Amino acid sequence: MGQPRQRPKIRRRPHRTKRSGTSWTDRQTRSLLPRNCIKAPPLMPMKEQNFPGGVYQNLKNIMVIPTTLFVLIMLSAFPAVFATQARPFKGDISGNSIALSQTSNSITATVYLTHLGNSHLIGTTTVTGQSECGGFVGTEKDTITSPNGDGIRLSGHGVSCPTSPTVFQDNVTFTVTGGTGRFSTASGSGTIHTTIVITSLTTATFTATITGTISY
């Protein structure tokens, strides 16, 4: 018998590793896609920013900035809504008057007013003429100061009519002309109704109610 026939040796190609850049997940995903499907390139990892917080902090900033801009736009578009809102303004006044001359008087009073609380009033009244009711017409300027120093200024004109030889009813229309502290830009208007009792040739007492609106 002859020698057994030897099989030819088969050369095996060396194993080639796949190029780097694709993960195991990408290879598995691509194997599930049909061969004729257009394959999208793999998503590149997001680069973190060079500051504390990285990508997460950057996304937070992206959301916060538009919100802040929206608030600023709203506030700048409607400043008058917050600055000119009229509020009720009322209270009671009780005080004394001293004649400085035949046409002017100095007044001091204790006041309780909304927005100011228990306050102090100083002012002057000036007679400018006679009224049709047998009394006087005149002007008045007052400063009302709250305990913390914030105050308002009033300017008005009115008519005083006698109801007896020593009693007068006084009606004044006033405007708020600013003030101090949180009332520095205050405005408003209203009326003051006053009952005046003459106690001597140069002195008098009075009580009053004030009603109006104020913005600040």
Q: How many CB atoms lie within 10 A of CB 187?
A: 18
Residue 146 burial class via C-beta count within 10 angstroms: exposed 0-12, middle 13-18, buried 19 and up: buried
pLDDT given at position 179? 96
CATH number where 91 lies: 2.40.160
Asked if residue 125 lies in contact with residue 140, where contact means CB atoms within 8 angstroms, the answer is: yes
Q: Name residues whose C-beta falls within 8 Å of residue 98's C-beta, 6 or more positions apart in sequence.
A: 105, 106, 107, 202, 203
pLDDT given at position 35? 55
Q: Is the pLDDT reported for residue 213 higher than 90? A: yes
Q: How many DSSP H helices and E strands does the chain contain? A: 3, 8
pLDDT given at position 80? 47
* Domain boundaries, position 104: 87-215
Is 17 part of a structural domain of the chain? no
**Which of 77, 98, 118 is where one domain is finished?**
77
Whether residue 180 sits in one domain with residue 148: yes
Is 185 part of a structural domain of the chain? yes
Whether residue 71 sits in one domain with residue 97: no
| Count of domains forming the chain | 2
pLDDT given at position 202? 96
pLDDT given at position 12? 60
- Chain segment 55-108, per-residue pLDDT in tens: 445 545 545 555 555 555 555 554 444 456 889 999 999 999 999 999 999 999
Q: What is the mean pLDDT of the chain?
A: 79
Mean pLDDT of 116-124: 96
- Chain segment 18-62, per-residue pLDDT in tens: 555 555 455 555 555 555 555 555 555 544 445 455 544 554 554
CA 113 to chain centre: 22
User: What share of the chain has pLDDT > 90, as a percent?
Assistant: 60
Q: What is the pTM of this model?
A: 0.62
Residues 107-141, buried b or exposed e (16+ Cβ, 10 A)? bebebebebbeebbbebebebeeeeeeebbebebe
Q: Is the pLDDT reported for residue 196 higher than 80? A: yes
- Chain segment 6-21, per-residue pLDDT in tens: 665 556 655 555 555 5
Distance between CA 196 and CA 161 in Å, rounded?
10
User: What share of the chain has pLDDT > 70, as a percent?
Assistant: 61
Distance between CA 167 and CA 206 in Å, rounded?
10
